[in-house]
Each structure stands twice: as C-alpha cells, then as structure tokens.
Structure 1
Amino acid sequence: MAKKAPRRTAERIAQVTLALFNRFGEPNVSTTLISAELGISPGNLYYHFPSKDALVNQLFDQYEEAMLSLLDAAPDVRDVEDTWFFLHSLFEQVWNHRFLYRDLNNLLSGNRHLETHFHAVLERKTLAFRQMLESLVAVGLMRMDADNIETLSASLSVMVTYWLSYEYVRNPRQAMEPASAGLALTRGAQHVLALLTPYMADQQVQQHLQALTAAYSAPETR
C-alpha cells in the first residue's frame, strides 16, 4: 500500500484537530488525544506540527483567510436579502472555527500569533460592517449619519465576535455541538438584524426585514 503523502497527512491532522477543538475546547484537547483519534503515533503528529500552538496557528490561518475573503464582499451588500446572507455567512465562518471564540481570551493570552492577527481580523470586521452600512445608506435602504455608522459598526462587530460565548453560557453542554449550529447561527443573525431595523428608511423596508427574519425564525428552547 502506498504511503500517504505528507501534505495529505497534515491536512487530515488539521481536520481532526479542528473537530476536537470545536467540540471540546482547545484547552481540553491534548496532542495525545489528537494522535489517538487519528490512529497515529505522537512522533508522527510532531513531525507535521511540532507543538499544539503550531496546530492552533494553522487552523487560525485557515479561518483568517476564509473570513477576510468573506469580509471583502461587504461593499456589495445592497438590499435586505444581501444583508441577511452576508450576516448569516459571517456566523457560519465563526461557527466553523468556534473553538477560537469559545476560548478567545485564553488563546490570546498565550499565543502571540493569535494576539496580533486576531486584532487585525477584528479591525477588518468592523471596517466591513462600516462598508456594509455605508452601502445600504447609499442605495437609500437605511438612514444614518456618520456617527451612527461608526457606533453601529462597532456594535455589530462585538455581537458577531461574542455571540457564541453568549450561546455557550446559556447551554454549555450543548451549545458547541454540531446539532446546535442551525439554532445558534439563526439566532445570531436575527439579533444583528434587530440592531439594523430602527435605521431602515421606511416602514415597508422594516416590514420586509422583519418578515425575512421571521421566515428563518428558530425556537428559543432547546
């Protein structure tokens, strides 16, 4: 049997590690557990990733690339449907690498790579929300002045960044399980849209937004 290429092995290690980190939290997953889950020796794991921080950095870099690519679409948000899709897509990216948000403060305090790069992602996220709001104002969908845009951009960035922490506090045993994804993402997008509603240009637009939100409504009980 042909040996697996090193790149394939590294990709498999990253995939399995991401699943374990997302489900149990990075502090609760050891390299021994990762090796056992993969069915490989610790030495083989360390050949590809010399430390757990190296794994964390690899997974963060994947997240960063996907998130920045998505944020580039912010200036193209021009109607209610675009807004919903953009916000829901943001929450999907957060969910895909939710271990970063679950243990954010702990990770930032012990990992210089994350400390510097996550700050840049946060700033880019806030800029993207500002671009989205400016686009919606430009097409007449929203009415806001520059101060409102600046404040709301920061509020939206905070909500997206810490929404999963809120979900985790509400239900720490189930919030990060894959089965909870639909509820968590929909609720997050709904609450962000609720912040936008008061600034919609007219009642018809507000009703359209509320109807769209209701169509994706998820029950609050688990």
Structure 2
Amino acid sequence: MAKSSKENTYEKIISASIKLFNEQGERYITTNHIVAYLGISPGNLYYYFQNKEEIIKEIFKRYEEELLEFVQGAVPEIEGYAAFRYIFKILDIIWNYRFIFTDLSVLLEKNEPLNEMQRDYINNKIAPLINHYFDLFIGNGLILMNPIDLKIFKNNFWLLIRYWFDYDKRVRGELNQDSKLRGSIHVLGLLKPYLSEEDKLIFDEIYLKLSQGIDL
C-alpha cells in the first residue's frame, strides 16, 4: 500500500506540473506553486525531485516516448483525410505538453543536459523516421520532389510542427483547441505543391471544410 501511495504522489506531481506549466507558463511556476496546488508538503515533492529541472526532464522523457511511439507505430498516408489525421495526432501529442514548445528556447538555454537530450532525440530518433517515410513516399510516387526540395521540405516540416504553438500563441495571444486544427492545415499545406493535381483538389476540399468557423 505504501508503494502504491508513493507512486500515486509521483504521478500527481508530474500531472500537476504539466497542467500548471501549460496554463501559466513554466517560467512562472515554482515548486512552491506545485505543492500548493496539490496540497502536499515541500518535503513530499523533494522526496521524488530535487528541483523543478528534474520534473521538467521527466516530462520531456514522457513527451518524447509518447511521440516516438505514435510515429513508429503509425505509417502516415499522403491521402486526403488520412494525412490530416496523422498530422493532427502529432500536434495533439505536442498540445498535451505545449509549454515545452512555447518556452522551448528558454528551457534549453538554461538546461544543457536537457538540450543534449533533445538534440539526441531529434537527430537519432525522429529525423531517421522522417527521412524513411518521405523516401518511401517519393519512391511510391505519392509526392514529387527532387533531392534538394526534399532536404528543404523535411527541415520545414519539422520546424513548423515543433514551433507551431509558439508562433500561434504570439500571433493570437493565447492558445485554444483551434490551434491544433490551424497547425495541421498549415503543415499539410507544405505538401500541396508536391502532390498530384488530383490530391491538390482533395487538399483544397479539406481546407474549405475544416476552415469553416475558425480563423486560419
């Protein structure tokens, strides 16, 4: 029973931290805010985490594992709504940890181990998967790109996904559920110039349907 209680407290600290960081911004939340929100003593928090940086590192690990699990397990399709749903799911995962991406530069600048962890994650786990999928799409004739276009596109694809919520927040002042929808349409829009004429028409259809009632 004691072990279960400890594990529960650990998870509560993580969940509360994600919630507070997302809602108010990581830089404005201290460990005192977290313990006050949970109604626990500082000693309970420091039993599991020496400081806020350790909490952030654990949250980073969870984000990376969740995103990698999805990307590895779901082969994306460059086909109308299937492609949109794939991109939307990626942004949905990022949305759950959005404080990371609205405060990313600050987080990485002040935490070199975290910076190294993120660099390794992108270079050795995410980038090879992106390369594999787009090489596959080109080989199957689903998208039409030359090697130069492909290199530029892959960088732009990841940059837009990674920094979308930071951009949207700065432009609109706050984030909401429509931010994911806007991001998905813009990321999918990167593909449009390289699609067949038939698939371009499908993209326009998706754009018109999904843009009803929201400001893109």
TM-score normalised by the chain length of structure 2:
0.90
Aligned to 1:158: 159
Partner secondary structure for residue 50 of structure 2: coil
The alpha-carbon distance between structure 1 residues 128 and 215, as it changes in their structure 2 partners (threshold 3 A), is: farther
1:12, distance to aligned residue in structure 2 (A): 0.9
The alpha-carbon distance between structure 1 residues 13 and 109, as it changes in their structure 2 partners (threshold 3 A), is: same
Q: Deviations over 1:51-89 (max 9, x none)?
A: 111100111110010111122246553533332122111
Q: C-alpha distance in 2, partners of 1:98/1:125?
A: 18
Contact 1:101 1:161 in 2 (8 A): yes
Aligned to 1:135: 136
User: Which 5+ residue runs of structure 2 have no aligned equivalent?
Assistant: none
Q: Deviations over 1:88-124 (max 9, x none)?
A: 1111111111111111111101112320121133334
Match of residue 212, structure 1, among 206, 209, 212: 206
- The one-letter code matched in structure 1 to 2:203 is L
Contact 1:74 1:129 in 2 (8 A): no
The alpha-carbon distance between structure 1 residues 161 and 152, as it changes in their structure 2 partners (threshold 3 A), is: same
Partner secondary structure for residue 5 of structure 1: helix
Aligned to 2:102: 102
Aligned to 1:87: 87
1:118 matched to 2:131? The reply is no
Aligned to 1:192: 187
Aligned to 1:38: 38
Partner secondary structure for residue 130 of structure 1: helix
1:163, distance to aligned residue in structure 2 (A): 0.7
Q: C-alpha distance in 2, partners of 1:137/1:213?
A: 23
- The one-letter code matched in structure 1 to 2:23 is R
- The one-letter code matched in structure 2 to 1:106 is V
Contact 2:76 2:86 in 1 (8 A): no
Q: C-alpha distance in 1, partners of 2:121/2:102?
A: 16
Partner secondary structure for residue 140 of structure 1: coil
- The one-letter code matched in structure 1 to 2:48 is H
Aligned to 1:7: 7
Contact 2:76 2:83 in 1 (8 A): no
How many residues are paired up?
Answer: 213
* Greater mean deviation of Cα atoms: 135-144 or 61-70: 135-144
Aligned to 1:20: 20
Equivalence map 1:33-72=2 (5 Å): 33-72=33-72
1:30, distance to aligned residue in structure 2 (A): 0.8
The alpha-carbon distance between structure 1 residues 149 and 75, as it changes in their structure 2 partners (threshold 3 A), is: farther
Q: C-alpha distance in 2, partners of 1:127/1:189?
A: 22
The alpha-carbon distance between structure 1 residues 120 and 82, as it changes in their structure 2 partners (threshold 3 A), is: farther
The alpha-carbon distance between structure 1 residues 199 and 78, as it changes in their structure 2 partners (threshold 3 A), is: closer
Contact 1:26 1:103 in 2 (8 A): yes
Q: C-alpha distance in 2, partners of 1:82/1:120?
A: 29
Task: Give aligned-pair identity as a percent.
Answer: 26
TM-score normalised by the chain length of structure 1:
0.88
Contact 1:57 1:114 in 2 (8 A): yes
